[in-house]
Amino acid sequence: MLAKSKKCWTIGNVFLFLFFETTIKGKTMMKAVKLSALVAVAALATGCASNSDIQNLQGQIDSLKPQVSAASADAASAKAAAAEAAAKAAAAEAAANRAAQYAQDTNSKLDRMFKKSQHK
């Protein structure tokens, strides 16, 4: 018999224990009972989904579909608004660059006029 340690037994340990225990005794009926118990424990450990569970999940999925559609529409409108804002920002930057160029041209003209007036 395997010694029980402080940690929990895993399904593999239980299977090994049952397998070796039944092969040592050589009783096929005991082996069948122990393996049936192992299968039952494994089935309970993994769980089964019933029709009501599946219908409940389907209902939750169906109730989430409109919310997903609304979120998708909101994301699309946000994307369009961001694209529009980016276009406006690019236009504003171009206008600011033109204004800066005009100011620099005007400043250069004024400097030339001032220098010309100083020579006279």
- Mean pLDDT calculated for residue range 105-110: 94
Confidence at residue 57, expressed as pLDDT on a 0 to 100 scale = 84
The pTM for the full model equals: 0.45
Q: What are 3-35's pLDDT values in tens digits?
A: 444 444 565 666 666 655 544 445 565 666 666
Neighbours of 34 (CB within 10 A): 19
Q: What are 26-69's pLDDT values in tens digits?
A: 556 566 666 677 776 666 666 556 778 788 888 988 998 899 88
Residues 45, 66: Cα–Cα separation, whole Å = 35
Burial environment of residue 21 by CB neighbours within 10 A (0 to 12, 13 to 18, 19 or more): middle
